[in-house]
Amino acid sequence: MFSLILAAAAAAAPAAPVLPADGSYTYVSSMNGTAVGKTVVTIKRTPAGVVLSEQGGGTYNGQQGTLADTLTLDPSMLSPTNYSLRAVVDGRPVNAALAFKGSSAVQSGDMLQKTYELTQGAAHFVVLDVGPFSGWFALPAQLRAWNGSPALAIVPEFGSGVPIAPDTSAKGAPPAGVPAADASLSVATPMPFTLWYDPAAMLVDRLDFPTQGITINRAP
């Protein structure tokens, strides 16, 4: 009888969230067809959590920059626990950090000091910074783990927290160069974007910002 109880409990336990395999993944960004940057995201499962570390650089609006950031996720629910960014833009250092605790997140660093609270039905935080790609890399896996429920996206560069939710009405075939079996994740507001990803490996292949003319593709 005891073995049956254990088997039933195991069957009822939620499956662990799916994330891409440990390793390094390269992404190339372009604006209106012209390459503007390159970044490498490394994912590693550690005792402290799932760690996404990134190194990248490029040119945008005539400004040259480099960045290094680290995003740590809770392995059970993929909620962020810490985020740090170190960047240099036209020779000027920029630093930012986020610390998460329950329904609050605190930003510190050069840009501002601010506390964010979960609001408007959002039960989770995500990090969608401008420039760094680590938060976008994790987003499909996070929203799947949370059954597509709304999340509060923190954009440290702008010091803003905005609710996002999948646009289930968005449909369309994968763009050229994206595997036909890829799934898509679209968000309509506050700025439209679509992520194309492998639904088995949860690996992002492409990110499109149609109103900005920006595309980010995974390099082979």
Q: Is the pLDDT of residue 76 over 50?
A: yes
* CA gap 179, 9 in Å, rounded: 38
The DSSP call for residue 12 is H
In order of 10, 30, 150, 176, the CA distances from 6 in angstroms are 6, 52, 34, 48
Assign 15 a pLDDT band (cuts: 50, 70, 90).
Answer: low
**Tokens standing for residue 207:** 């990110």
pLDDT digits (tens, 9 = 90+) for 20-30: 999 999 999 99
Tokens coding 97? 């950090």
Percent share of the chain, pLDDT over 90: 80
Res. 75 pLDDT band, cuts 50 70 90:
very high
Alpha-carbon distance of 180 to 206, in angstroms, equals: 12
pTM, full prediction: 0.91
Q: How far apart are CA 147 and CA 150, in angstroms?
A: 9
50 CA to centre of own chain: 13
Find the angle CA(136)-CA(96)-CA(203) to the nearest 5 degrees: 15
